[in-house]
Amino acid sequence: MNGISGRLSKVRSRLRAACESSGRDPEEVTLLAVSKMHPAASVRSLFELGQEKFGENRLQEALVKQDELDDLPIEWHFIGPVQSNKTRDIAARFDWVQSVDRNKVLQRLSSQRPPGFPALNICLQVNIDSEPQKAGVLPHAAMALAEQARALPGVRLRGLMSIPRFEPDPERSRASFVRLSALFQQLCAAGFELDTLSMGMSADLEVAISEGSTMVRVGTDLLGQRPSKSDTP
């Protein structure tokens, strides 16, 4: 099984160990497998091993893979930049969109969610380090965007997602995770019923879990190095 099985067990034990050392129930942390740049066959192998949630960041690539895998009840998460001319397909083909960062996209996803589908699960992507040119709503504007989401019938706000500034030492991302976690608590205290704090990737999932992550998004450590680096967010 070309190493996938071993990698999955390893990531699962990292999740368990991270939960244990921060006194959390492993049931609280969901693993999202990020399959961008990897073939449908790898997704199928992981699915057969019990991994049912997958994230993709490019629409065209995702649609082809979804067609190849449409015999499997996969839960698909869109985690890439959302261009407003792509919202119709995203609203129709995904269960979750974790990368919503502006009202226009919210409006379109809500109105384009096909009739009869459950509301589209969304997370607001937060630019937690306020980096110029980086996707995501700025922390101070997140509450207002959450309020706009609440008014829309076609979307259901589940939480926040962030990709902190790249740090070679994952410990140096801790402050960003702490800030995202605080913002999440602030929204909950304001009456938003959120259950998803999506933070942590291959390199820093332990730190993210110790700061309250409920969903880690793992690509490289599950599926191996991607063929190109051009997809880094």
Which spans of this chain sit near ligand PLP (rule: CB under 6 A)?
34, 36, 57, 79, 163, 201-203, 217-221, 233
Supply the minimum distance, in Å, between the C-beta of residue 36 and ligand PLP: 6
Q: Which is nearer to ligand PLP, 19 or 205 (CB)?
A: 205
Tell me phi and psi for residue 223, to 5 degrees.
Answer: -115, -5
DSSP-assigned beta bridge partners for residue 145 = none
CA distances from 156 to 51, 78, 97, 162, 187 (A): 24, 15, 10, 18, 14
Task: Output the smallest distance, CB 116 to ligand PLP, in A.
Answer: 29
Min separation Cβ 219 and ligand PLP, Å: 3
Query: Which is nearer to ligand PLP, 106 or 123 (by Cβ)?
Result: 123
Task: State the nearest-atom distance from the C-beta of 105 to ligand PLP, in Å.
Answer: 16
Are residues 93 and 231 in contact, defined by beta-carbon separation less than 8 angstroms? Answer: no
The three-state secondary structure class of 170 is helix
Cβ-closest residue to ligand PLP?
Answer: 219
Decide whether 38 or 108 has the Cβ nearer to ligand PLP.
38
Q: What are phi and psi of 17, to 5 degrees?
A: -65, -40
Query: Minimum distance between the CB of residue 183 and ligand PLP, rounded to whole angstroms?
Result: 18
- CA-wise closest residue to 34 among 199, 174, 202, 160: 202
What six digits make up the tokens of 183? 């913002």
- For ligand PLP, the closer of residues 45 and 213 by Cβ is 213
Whose Cβ is closer to ligand PLP: residue 70's or residue 93's? 93
